[in-house]
Amino acid sequence: MNITAILIMDFLISSVGNALPFFGEAYTVYASLTLLDVKSSIQYVILVIIVTAVGASISKNASYALGYALRRPLGKTSAVKLIMLLSNKAPLWVLVIILAALPGLPLDDYLYIGAGAALINPLRLNAYILIGKLIKSSVEIPIELLLFSSLYGVLRPSMGLSTFQVIMAVIFTALAFVVFKINWIRIYVKLQERIHLLPRIEDNIGNFDQGNT
């Protein structure tokens, strides 16, 4: 398989996987495995990192669109209200980068769904998602590429990867209902009392509550 075919395959895998909320975490695994089919050079690895990051970032708009479609019921939750309150503040965008880069858990989808419900600027959101996904791919793909040739056979799960992803997707979908039931504004206010560097939002909480009564 030549590098062009590999890049197209990796883009499609990262795009399709990340278009399904709570499904996309294994795309760097697939990308690393496809690189095993060629004599990987630094240039090839860099190209795959960029392609997978772009594909994953673009597809995360599906989670944003889902949140936008559900903005009426989700807009009443404290999680979405907190995103609104932090929409022009640095902590939210730092969190976007961290969650986009976080390995193993698709926690970023919760934030993107909430961002859609909060009507956050999608262009700005996409820019920060891309930064996070570039970090994620840059860290995970080289490590996985180095380890898979000797360890993949040992670490292969007893169930197929697709079955594992379906099970995890069901678990994280159920967890989403719990996440949106938590009073995030109350938690944030308590945190800002302890961490004085956090932006203060208590003056605006009442306005949101009144707007949803």
Total domains in the chain come to 1
Distance separating alpha carbons of residues 189 and 200, to the nearest angstrom: 8
Mean pLDDT value across residues 102-129 = 84
The answer to whether residue 152 scores a pLDDT higher than 60 is no
pLDDT digit string, tens, across residues 172-207: 667 767 766 777 778 878 887 888 777 776 544 444
The DSSP secondary structure of 96-121, one letter per residue, reads: HHHHHH-SS--THHHHHHHHHHTT--
* Domain boundaries, position 92: 3-211
Mean pLDDT of the chain: 77
Amino acid 25: pLDDT: 59
Which comes out higher in pLDDT, residue 84 or 211? Answer: 84
Tell me how many degrees the CA angle 117-103-169 measures, rounded to the nearest 5: 55
Tell me how far apart the alpha carbons of residues 144 and 20 are, in angstroms, rounded to a whole number: 23
